[in-house]
């Protein structure tokens, strides 16, 4: 039996208590300063309020000030915060981790420096930790199509654990894999994480197809949806994910299967990010749509700003061709520059419909 200490009590981290518990392992869930009510709820009733479920036996909850205690005697650690909390989590972990520990991270996104160079979030997390300690740790991450609530209630889910060390990934796989939670391992750390970050961007665009119909109102009729439009954007996303592999040094085949196309599919099916895209598709500016969703976390929109701005900078200095990533660039115009949706179809799909 293993014990995993988790920093951040969001729904994805908490949902992963299910496969862990199914394998007889235990999770110690440490809330951030934002998770105080969640931890209180789990402590008193066992129920994670956002997940709407009682967490499995063997899962304990701890407030942030109890973190050191929760991390005692544990050498397996999960960073369960979202993309906005990664730097903070890294700083916290710097004082909680000890040599020989293994870290696995959930947050999806990228950070950019002033020149537009992009870094995957597990590296950002690791970089918060002093080098002499960092070199005695391993960092891995979980990616692939995975709605948290489904994992928590044993729906079949197929994911990818990624990192540089195949043996460490196999160790993590052994802890989590069950008859419902199917795990593959992939050492293309950059490729898998870039897919995970960019799929959130493209899923924002998946909202446009419904928003356009909303704007048409009765003129849309009751029979004709807008799936041709959505399918075209999805197809362009598949092409651009492979362009990202070239740009970032991932393998060109990594977006196939689970990390890119599979995850983009599930993320496009719904959620806050798609909802905001839908509002924008209906004719609101991004700022107007954002104002209609106060307090809501929009990781996809944030990723569009970071990656879109980085692409502009990289294009200016000649590191990327201006004809690459036309959909992501348009998403940036919409989200980052508050422009109206106006899909530049002629710039999509290369010359042959498949990106060449």
Site residues (CB under 8 A) for a copy of itself?
52, 144-147, 149-151, 153, 155-160, 182, 184-188, 192, 221, 223-232, 234-236, 238-239, 242, 251, 253-263, 265-266, 269-270, 343, 345-346, 348-356
Cα–Cα distance, 290 to 279 (Å, whole number): 9
Show the CA angle centred on residue 29, arms to residues 73 and 152, nearest 5°: 125
Residue recorded with tokens 């109890």: 66
Nearest distance from C-beta of residue 131 to a copy of itself, angstroms: 29
Residue 18 phi/psi, 5° resolution? Answer: -65, -60
Q: 165 or 238: whose CB is closer to a copy of itself?
A: 238
Q: What share of the chain is helix, strand, coil (3-state, %, to 5)?
A: 50, 15, 35
Nearest distance from C-beta of residue 212 to a copy of itself, angstroms: 8
Q: 10 or 90: whose CB is closer to a copy of itself?
A: 10
Q: Which of 203, 210, 201 is nearest to 279 (CA)?
A: 210
Cα–Cα distance, 229 to 252 (Å, whole number): 26
Positive/negative CA dihedral, 129, 21, 150, 145: positive
Half-sphere exposure of 126 (CA within 13 A, CB side): 21
Nearest distance from C-beta of residue 170 to a copy of itself, angstroms: 11
Nearest distance from C-beta of residue 205 to a copy of itself, angstroms: 13
Nearest distance from C-beta of residue 163 to a copy of itself, angstroms: 12
Residues facing residue 356 across a β-bridge: none
Nearest distance from C-beta of residue 268 to a copy of itself, angstroms: 8
Q: 88 or 349: whose CB is closer to a copy of itself?
A: 349
What's the count of helices (H) and strands (E) in the chain, helices before strands? 17, 12
Q: 115 or 224: whose CB is closer to a copy of itself?
A: 224
Q: 94 or 153: whose CB is closer to a copy of itself?
A: 153
Q: 32 or 267: whose CB is closer to a copy of itself?
A: 267
């Amino acid at each position: 039996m293993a014990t995993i200490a988790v920093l951040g009590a969001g729904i994805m981290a908490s949902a992963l208590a299910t496969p862990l518990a199914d394998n007889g392992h235990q999770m110690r869930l440490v809330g951030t300063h934002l998770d105080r009510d969640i931890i209180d709820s789990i402590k008193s009733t066992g129920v994670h309020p956002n997940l709407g479920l009682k967490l499995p036996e063997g899962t304990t909850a701890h407030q942030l000030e109890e973190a050191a205690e929760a991390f005692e005697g544990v050498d397996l650690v999960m960073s369960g915060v979202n993309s906005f909390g990664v730097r903070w989590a890294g700083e916290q972990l710097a004082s909680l981790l000890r040599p020989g520990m293994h870290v696995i991270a959930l947050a999806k996104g990228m950070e950019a420096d002033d020149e537009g160079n992009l870094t995957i979030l597990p590296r950002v997390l690791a970089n918060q930790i002093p080098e002499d300690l960092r070199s005695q740790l391993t960092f891995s991450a979980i990616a692939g199509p995975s709605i948290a609530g489904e994992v928590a209630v044993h729906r079949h889910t197929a994911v990818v654990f990624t990192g540089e060390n195949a043996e460490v990934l196999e160790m993590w796989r052994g802890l989590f894999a069950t008859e419902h939670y199917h795990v593959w391992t992939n050492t293309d750390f950059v490729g898998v994480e870039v897919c995970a970050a960019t799929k959130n961007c493209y899923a924002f665009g998946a909202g446009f197809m419904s928003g356009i119909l909303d704007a048409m109102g009765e003129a849309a009729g009751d029979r004709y949806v807008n799936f041709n439009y959505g399918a075209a954007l999805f197809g362009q996303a598949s092409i651009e994910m492979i362009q990202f592999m070239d740009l970032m040094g991932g393998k060109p085949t990594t977006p196939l299967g689970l990390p890119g196309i599979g995850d983009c599919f599930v993320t496009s099916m719904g959620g806050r990010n798609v909802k905001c895209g839908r509002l924008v598709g209906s004719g609101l500016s991004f700022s107007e749509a954002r104002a209609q969703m106060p307090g809501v976390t929009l990781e996809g929109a944030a990723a569009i700003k970071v990656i879109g701005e980085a692409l502009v900078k990289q294009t200016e200095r000649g590191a990327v061709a201006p004809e690459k990533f036309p959909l992501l660039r348009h998403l940036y115009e919409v989200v980052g520059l508050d422009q109206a949706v106006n899909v530049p179809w002629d710039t999509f799909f290369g010359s042959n419909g498949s990106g060449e």
